[in-house]
Amino acid sequence: MGLFGWSVIVGFSRRRFVFMDFMCGILIGIGSRNNQILR
């Protein structure tokens, strides 16, 4: 149970960090696109 629980926690946190990186990438892409439009 302990090892399996840790693997689930690590996998969930890693997936969450990947999702946060994905969202940050989208926000940065939208921001750069808006800057190009404004210029």
Q: Cα dihedral angle (15, 20, 26, 32), rounded to 10 degrees?
A: -140
Q: What's the pLDDT at 33?
A: 82
The predicted pLDDT at position 6 comes to: 79
Q: Dihedral sign, CA of 26, 29, 35, 37?
A: negative
Distance CA 30, CA 39 (A): 14
pLDDT at 2: 73
Q: For residue 7, what pLDDT is reported? A: 83
Sign of the torsion angle spanned by Cα atoms 29, 30, 35, 39: positive
Please give the pLDDT value at position 1. 52
Q: pLDDT of 1-39, one tens digit each?
A: 577 887 887 888 787 778 888 888 888 888 888 777 766
